[in-house]
Amino acid sequence: MTTPWMSLLLVLGGAIALAAGYGAHAVRTRLKSAAAQKNARQMLEDAKRESETILREAKLQAKDEYIRLREKFEEETRTRRQELLGQEERVTQRETNLDRKLAMLDKKESGLDEKLEELQGQRNTLDRKAEELDRLIKEQQQKIQEVAAMGQDEARNILMTRLEEDLRNESGALIRRIQEETHENAEREARRIITMAVERYAADQVNDITTSSVALPSDEMKGRIIGKEGRNIRALEAATGVNIMIDDTPELVVISGFDPLRRELAKTSLERLISDGRINPARIEEVVAKVQTEIDDATREAGEEAIYTLGLRSVAPEIVRTLGRLKFRHSYSQNVLKHSIEVGHLMGLLAGEMDLDIDLAKRIGLFHDIGKALDHQVEGSHAIIGADLLKRHGEAQIVYNAVAAHHGDVEGESVYAPLTTAADAMTASRPGARSETTEIYIQRLEKLEEIASGFRGVVKSFAIQAGREIRVLVEPSKIDDNEAMQMARNISKQIEQELQYPGQIKVTVVRETRCIEYAR
C-alpha cells in the first residue's frame, strides 16, 4: 500500500480505537453511575428506616413522658384538692365555733344585763331599807329618851344590843367582801389559799405510839426476865435504851420508849430470849447485838426499796438508812414510810398535771417526813430536822426548803413547798389512811354536833362524811346571809380550838327559805 492509504488506515484505526475507548469509558461511567445511584437509594432507604425507628422511639418516649407528667399533675392536683378540702373544713369548723361563741357571748351579755338590772333593783331596795332603818333607829332613840321611867343603864343596854347587831351584820358583809376579792386575785394567790385550806396537822398521841407489848408463855417467865436482884431486866434496859414494865397483867410485858427502833430492838430481843430460854446478862448482850445488826440491815433495805419504788437516783447512804427507820414509825396507826411513799407518788402525779419536774416532786414527797426518824433524838420540828439532814448530805436547796416549809416552819421558796403541804394533808386525811378507836370517833362526832348546835338560830346539825364535814341548818328568819357567813367562821374556829383531828373538817351552814301555798 501506498503511504496515503496507510495513513488513512491508521487514522481510521485510531478513530475506531478512540470511539471504542470512548464507548467503553461511557459504559464504565454509566455502570459506576448506576451503582452509585443504587448505593444512594440503599443508603436513603436505610436512613429513612432509621429515621422512622428514631421517630417511633421518640414518639414512645414522648408518650411515656406525657403519661408520667399527667399522672404527676393529677396526683398533685388531688393532693392540693384534699388540702383545700381540709382547709375548707377547718374554716367551716372555726366559723361554727365562732358562731357558737358569739351566741354564748350574746347570751352571757343578756344575762349580765339582767343581773345588773337585778343588782340595781336590790341596791335601790337596800337604800330604801337603810333609810327606813335610820328612821326607825332615830324614832327608837327618841322614844327611849322620852320614856321617863327608863333609867340610864337600861337605855345604855338597849343601845349596846342594837350596836352589837349592827356590827355583826357589818362583820358578815366584810367577810363576804374579803372572800370575793380573794377569789379575784391571781392564780398564785388562789393556789396558796387552797393549800392553806387543806393544810392540817395533828400531834401524835403518845399512848398509841410509845409502847409495845410482848406476850409471855406463862407468868413464871416474868421472874426469869427480872433475874436475880433485877440484873436481867437492868441489862436488857441498858442494852436497848427502853423501859420494861412488868406489872400485874397476866402473861404480858410492856415496853415503853419514844424511839421506835429501840422499842423494836427490845421487843425482838425479848421474844428471842423467851423462845431460847437462856436469859442472863451475857446472853442478853449477845442477842441484842445480833438483833441490832438485823434491824440495821432491815432499815437499809426498807430505805432502798422505797427509793427504788419511786425511781430516785443519787441518794446518800445516810439518807437511805434514816429513811428506812420510818418503817418502824407510825402516826395515827399510819406507817410513816408508806405514807411518805404515797406522798411521793401523789406529788409526782400533781407535778405532771402542773408541768413541773416529776422526779424532783417525788424526791421531795418521799423525804418530807424523814425528820420523824430523828425527832426523838434532836430538838425541834421534824420538818426542820429533816431539812437539816438533807442539807448536810448534799440535797438541793429546793428539796430541803420544801421539806422544811411543808408545815409552815419556814417560808417556801418554790411551788413545791405548798404542793408538799397539800399532798401530805390529802394522804393523811383520806378515808382509811388513819384510824381511831370507836369510842374516840363517836366522841368526836358528838362534840362536832354539840359545838354547832350551841350557836343561836341553829335548827339542826349533822356530822357527815365520817366526821369530815358538819352541816348546820339555821332558821332563815333569825339568821341572814351575813350572819350565816359569820357563823360558819365562828364554828370552824371553835372546832379548831376544842378538837384534835387529822386532816380538815368542812363547815357548811345551810340557810333556805321555803314558800308554800296551796291551789284550791
Q: Round to whole Å and give the CA distance between 213 and 243.
A: 12
The count of domains in the chain is 3
- Checking if the pLDDT of 186 tops 70, the result is no
The pLDDT-based confidence of 195 (bands split at 50, 70, 90) is very low
DSSP string, 168-226: HHHHHHHHHHHHHHHHTS-HHHHHHHHHHHH----PPPHHHHSEEEEE-S-THHHHHHH
Q: At 469, which CATH number?
A: 3.30.300.30
The pLDDT-based confidence of 208 (bands split at 50, 70, 90) is very low
- Checking if the pLDDT of 445 tops 80, the result is no
Least confident span in 107-121, 129-143, 144-158, 305-319: 144-158
DSSP string, 419-484: HHHHHHHHHHHSTTTS---HHHHHHHHHHHHHHHHTSTTEEEEEEEGGGTEEEEEE-TTT--HHHH
pLDDT, mean of residues 155-175: 70
Judge if 286 and 333 occupy the same domain.
no
Q: At 248, which CATH number?
A: 3.30.1370.10
Q: At 358, which CATH number?
A: 1.10.3210.10
Rg (CA), the chain: 52
Whether residue 84 is contained in a domain is answered as no
- Checking if the pLDDT of 178 tops 70, the result is no
Whether residue 191 is contained in a domain is answered as no
Contact between residue 485 and residue 455 where contact means Cβ atoms under 8 Å apart: no
pLDDT digits (tens, 9 = 90+) for 347-384: 888 788 777 888 998 999 888 888 888 766 677 788 88
DSSP string, 236-253: HHHHH--EEE--SSTTEE
Least confident span in 115-124, 253-262, 294-303: 253-262
pLDDT at 328: 79
- Checking if the pLDDT of 437 tops 50, the result is no
pLDDT digits (tens, 9 = 90+) for 48-69: 888 888 888 888 888 888 898 8
The grid cell for 32 is: 459506576
The average confidence (pLDDT) of the chain is 78
pLDDT at 146: 62
Domain that holds residue 485: 438-510
3-state secondary structure 51-110: HHHHHHHHHHHHHHHHHHHHHHHHHHHHHHHHHHHHHHHHHHHHHHHHHHHHHHHHHHHH
Phi-psi region of 185 (alpha: psi -120 to 50; beta: other; left: phi over 0): beta
Least confident span in 27-41, 131-145, 433-447: 433-447
pLDDT at 205: 34
pLDDT at 196: 41
Look at residue 357 and give its three-state secondary structure: coil
pLDDT at 150: 54
- Checking if the pLDDT of 199 tops 80, the result is no
Burial letters for 253-290: b for 16+ Cβ neighbours within 10 Å, e otherwise?
Answer: bebebebbbbbbbbbbbbeebbeeeebeeebbeebbee
DSSP character at residue 39: H
Q: Round to whole Å and give the CA distance between 450 and 460.
A: 10
Is the whole-model pTM more than 0.85?
Answer: no
Whether residue 224 is contained in a domain is answered as yes
